[in-house]
């Protein structure tokens, strides 16, 4: 929503993404929808930093992400990734999350 407020993303797109993913999460209790909402924000920050040519801040952000990924690698591989992929599979199968 910060990108909408700053004018970097059109209001209809930003609000649409948030409403759709929040509604999907609320209706299905599927954690993957919440993960997608968070990933959208992170991706926009990285994209905007790259697009504005801010190389040093982008490298810092990527280094921090890599460090967090390394420190949390076990949680990522054993919980986060299976939860996300399983949640997406549930969405495509048309059933509520486990």
Query: pLDDT digits over 23-71, tens only?
Result: 888 888 888 888 887 888 888 889 889 999 999 999 999 999 899 989 9
pTM: 0.66
Mean pLDDT for the stretch of residues 2-22: 83
Mean pLDDT for the stretch of residues 67-85: 90
Tell me: pLDDT of 95 over 80: no
For the chain, counts of helices (H) and of strands (E): 6, 0
Half-sphere exposure of 22 (CA within 13 A, CB side): 6
CB count within 10 Å of CB 7 equals 8
Tell me: pLDDT of 94 over 90: no
């Amino acid at each position: 929503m910060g990108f909408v407020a700053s004018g970097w993303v059109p209001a209809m797109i930003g609000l649409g993404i948030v409403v759709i993913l929040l509604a999907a999460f609320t209706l299905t209790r599927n954690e993957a929808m919440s993960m997608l909402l968070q990933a959208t924000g992170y991706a926009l920050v990285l994209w905007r930093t790259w697009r504005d040519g801010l190389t040093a801040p982008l490298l810092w952000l990527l280094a921090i992400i890599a460090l967090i990924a390394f420190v949390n690698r076990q949680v990522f591989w054993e919980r986060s990734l299976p939860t996300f992929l399983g949640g997406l599979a549930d969405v495509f199968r048309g059933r509520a999350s486990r």
